């Protein structure tokens, strides 16, 4: 080989390396479109891989903001605000999304003996979980508020798309289902845009979409309910919804007792059978609503009813002892 040839050969190798390595790298770790927003009372992380990622993220944010505007019970233009204001007065016409979410809430209420009950609002309110002035109400006050809690008083008219609360003072709150429901809407957006991979985290409600780039599973951490960091990992391969309800997100402590934001519709008091439960499901709204219901009903109910709902669970009882359905044993790694 002449020296000229050698030079041009190395020049070729050099150019090929400069051009090809970034292309190969890009295939190995493509950069996702990432966005973090605050909506629906929580921080939301959106991570989308593939093509058209920016426009997909925009569409997702728009959907989140739409659901927030419909369900925010403090905003006087929301469907929920108008339904609550007209309790005992008249039916209120609502957006199909609101209607569907309430219909699905009533379905879960029926299936969980009323443990999941969106009409819990008057009870949440007297404990200060609506507005922020935490307090322990008197037993008489609790009894009075409980009289206003019944999902059977939520009257739906499918053809008119109206919602009516039978009694004055009754009120509903979609905080236990809205995030999971929104993840279902987001999954549809990802499907429609042919997205190859995405991860959405809405404050404890997670959607793993297909597989992460060049990996066999997503590592989803389970928060330590009584400390910093995580207490376990779920290895999720494919599209799943992972929803956690715990007593460590919003709570107050009085005389050494912890009072959290998930209420038992049976006692009118914060639920305290367990301290956290994570539900793996194929529908976002089911996982979200069931994690709340299982939190109220406790370990035994959760373990013996998970199969009926087609979900898997892992949770921690009040002694921090883990419990889980046998079908997730091989994807669950608990810290020793
Ligand atoms: P988070 O919203 O913190 O993710 P959950 O999904 O468990 O937790 O929902 C808790 C929210 O649901 C509460 O903040 C309240 O708005 C509402 N809620 C509380 N208790 C119940 C209940 N028994 N049934 C339905 N919704 C409830
Ligand atoms: Mg929930």
DSSP designation for 130: T
Say how far apart CA 227 and CA 46 lie, in whole Å.
26
Question: Is residue 245 lining ligand 1, measured as CB closer than 6 Å?
Answer: yes
Question: Is residue 59 lining ligand 1, measured as CB closer than 6 Å?
Answer: no
pTM, two decimals, is: 0.91
pLDDT band at 8 (very low <50, low <70, confident <90, very high): low
Question: Is residue 204 lining ligand 1, measured as CB closer than 6 Å?
Answer: yes
Q: Candidates 171, 175, 259, 296: which one to mutate for ligand 1, based on the most atoms within 8 Å of Cβ?
A: 175
Question: Is residue 265 lining ligand 1, measured as CB closer than 6 Å?
Answer: yes
Distance 155 CA to ligand 2 centre (A): 22
Distances in whole angstroms, Cα of residue 272 to Cα of each of 16, 219, 251, 298, 314: 63, 29, 11, 8, 17
Ligand nearest to the CA of 115: 1
Question: Is residue 201 lining ligand 1, measured as CB closer than 6 Å?
Answer: no
Beta-bridged to residue 9, according to DSSP, are: none
Percent of the chain at pLDDT above 90?
A: 88
Query: Does residue 28 carry a pLDDT above 50?
Result: no
Query: Does residue 15 carry a pLDDT above 60?
Result: no
Q: Which protein residue has the closest C-alpha to ligand 1 atom 15?
A: 175
Strand order in the sheet with 312-317: 33-39, 42-49, 197-202, 205-210, 240-246, 274-281, 312-317, 322-324
Query: Which tokens in the block code for residue 319?
Result: 């002694």
Helix H or strand E encompassing 259: strand 257-260
Q: What is the pLDDT of residue 255?
A: 93
pLDDT band at 112 (very low <50, low <70, confident <90, very high): very high
Contacts 24+ apart (CB under 8 A), 110-114: 110/151, 111/309, 112/290, 112/293, 112/296, 112/297, 114/150, 114/151, 114/265, 114/266
Ligand nearest to the CA of 74: 1
Q: Which protein residue has the closest C-alpha to ligand 1 atom 19?
A: 262
Say how far apart CA 17 and CA 21 lie, in whole Å.
6
pLDDT band at 132 (very low <50, low <70, confident <90, very high): confident
Average pLDDT over residues 229-256: 96
Distance 325 CA to ligand 2 centre (A): 19
């Amino acid at each position: 080989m002449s020296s000229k040839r050698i030079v041009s050969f190395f020049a070729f190798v050099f150019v090929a390396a400069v051009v090809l390595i970034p292309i190969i790298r890009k295939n190995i770790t493509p950069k996702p479109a990432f966005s973090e927003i605050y909506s629906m009372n929580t921080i939301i992380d959106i991570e989308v891989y593939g093509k058209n990622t920016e426009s997909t993220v925009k569409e997702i944010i728009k959907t989140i903001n739409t659901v927030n505007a419909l369900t925010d019970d403090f905003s006087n233009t929301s469907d929920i605000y108008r339904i609550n204001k007209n309790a005992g007065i008249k039916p209120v016409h609502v957006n199909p999304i609101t209607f569907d979410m309430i219909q699905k809430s009533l379905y879960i209420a029926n299936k969980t003996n009323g443990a999941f009950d969106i009409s819990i609002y008057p009870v949440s309110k007297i404990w200060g979980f609506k507005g922020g002035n935490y307090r322990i109400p008197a037993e008489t006050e609790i009894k009075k508020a409980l009289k206003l809690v019944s999902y059977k008083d939520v009257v739906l008219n499918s053809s008119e798309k109206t919602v009516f609360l039978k009694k004055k003072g009754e009120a509903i709150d979609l905080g236990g289902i809205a995030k999971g429901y929104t993840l279902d809407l987001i999954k549809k957006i990802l499907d429609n845009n042919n997205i190859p991979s995405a991860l959405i985290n809405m404050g404890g409600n997670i959607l793993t979409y297909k597989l992460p780039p060049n990996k066999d599973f997503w590592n989803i951490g389970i928060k330590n309910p009584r400390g910093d960091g995580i207490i376990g990992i779920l290895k999720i391969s494919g599209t799943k919804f992972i929803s956690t309800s715990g007593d460590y997100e919003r709570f107050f402590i009085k005389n050494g007792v912890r009072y959290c934001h998930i209420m038992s519709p049976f006692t009118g008091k914060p639920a305290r059978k367990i301290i956290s439960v994570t539900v793996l499901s194929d529908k976002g709204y089911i996982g979200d609503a069931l994690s709340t219901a299982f939190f109220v009903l406790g370990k035994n109910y959760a373990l013996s009813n998970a199969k009926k709902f087609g979900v898997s669970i892992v949770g921690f009882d009040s002694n921090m002892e883990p419990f889980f359905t046998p079908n997730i044993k091989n994807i669950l790694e608990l810290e020793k």
